[in-house]
Amino acid sequence: MPANLPPLYFEAQKRFQRAPTPWEKIEALEEMLAAMPHHKGTDHLRAELNGRMARLLEEAEKKSTTGRKGPGYYIKKEGAGQVALVGAPNVGKSQLVATLTNASLEIGDYPFTTKIATPAMMTFENIQIQLVDLPAINDRNAQPWLHSVIRNADLMLIMVDLTQDPVKQLEMTTQELLKLRIGIAGLDKGETVEAIYPKKTIIIGNKCDLDPSGIAFGILRGMYSSLLPVLAVSATKMIGLFDLGKAIFQTLDIVRVFTKIPGQKAEITRPFVLKKGSTVADVALAVHKDIGATLKYAELWGSGRFQGQRVKRDYILQDGDVVELHT
């Protein structure tokens, strides 16, 4: 399938080729990725650009103490996905990350407590998902580097405080994101900002324990739930956290696949995490490149018509499938 790249991509490519510094090259790469259509024909190019981006980010981060971007610009991805928490001051982002991960974070009832990007690992069932606590979206000291952390993430959680006009907070947050040329996938209001980088997003209404009538959350959900996942949680009272973990897993569009050796039980504690739509050949390659190259077929337990069904290399796997690879 041809890539069919738009003019915006080639304009950004020219800026990348002329860029004298790693930071400027990174910004051009971000625009190239944002302009690139999402289909099979661009998968290889997207992977190549993401690899180049990672190398430039690591190079740029080493120079961050003297560069213009400052600390916290690049957070290396770990686990099954990276999730950036975004919102206004004092909506409870740090408290939520601390509750979900047991990380020790600075939590205060004064604005702009969080100064740097801080990653921590959340356990969801049998996988680890990386959460990144971020400064407030309108923190001007953080904005020179904040956009790249959010763009690099796989998913964005926008958090609002249900006790403080959540709709107004959400609108402020989306406007600040637009200044960073970041859009919300599925929430298209006709903005004309050039080359917006769309991010998968979940909206979180925090402090639901202080909204006992549910009126504030009901208004928020009524306005946005037809477009995006909208959940109510309480980071301090630990309400709604399992549903949040489930929503994060589902929105990441990933599947967990288990493998087994012939004659032995499946390894069910350490799944391979793949993008939804991945095939038997993809999991074989994840196990080892040689197995991926020599794979003939697999036997499948889970989504097949019967247990132990023989399937081909191009069989699309479902969450929880168990495969026995045969070379």
pLDDT in tens, 138-192: 887 777 778 888 988 999 999 999 999 999 999 999 999 988 888 898 776 544 4
For residue 246, what is the domain's CATH number? Answer: 3.40.50.300
Structural domain contains residue 68 = no
Q: How many domains does the chain have?
A: 3
Q: How far apart are CA 136 and CA 71, in angstroms?
A: 15
CA 287 vs CA 239, 299, 309, 312, 322: distances in Å: 38, 15, 20, 17, 13
CA 327 vs CA 47, 265, 284, 299: distances in Å: 27, 19, 10, 12
Q: What DSSP character marks residue 20?
A: -
Q: Render 61-108 in DSSP notation, one character per residue.
A: HHTTTTSSS-TT------BT-EEEEEESTTSSHHHHHHHHH-------
CB 318 within 8 A of CB 280: no
Residue finishing a domain among 62, 90, 107: 62
What is the band of 70 on the pLDDT scale with cuts at 50, 70, 90?
very low
Structural domain contains residue 227 = yes
Whether 243 and 260 map to the same domain: the answer is no
Enumerate the H helices of 232-279 as residue ranges.
241-251
Q: Which of 133-147, 202-216, 285-299 has the lowest mean pLDDT?
A: 133-147
Residue finishing a domain among 211, 227, 251: 251
> pLDDT tens digits, residue range 3-41?
678 888 899 899 999 988 887 788 788 788 878 887 778
Whether 145 and 239 map to the same domain: the answer is yes
- Give residue 114's pLDDT: 62
| pLDDT greater than 90 at residue 61 | no
Q: Which of 53-57, 126-130, 150-154 has the lowest mean pLDDT?
A: 53-57
Whether 109 and 173 map to the same domain: the answer is yes
Among the listed residues 169, 184, 185, 97, the one whose alpha carbon sits nearest the alpha carbon of residue 137: 169
Structural domain contains residue 319 = yes
pTM score, two decimals?
0.79
Residue finishing a domain among 226, 251, 276: 251
Mean predicted confidence (pLDDT) in 259-265: 88
| pLDDT greater than 70 at residue 109 | no
How does the average pLDDT of the chain come out, rounded? 86
Structural domain contains residue 93 = yes
* Residue type present at position 141: N
Structural domain contains residue 118 = yes
- Cβ partners under 8 Å of residue 36, min gap 6: 3, 5, 9, 42, 45, 46, 49
Domain that holds residue 47: 7-62
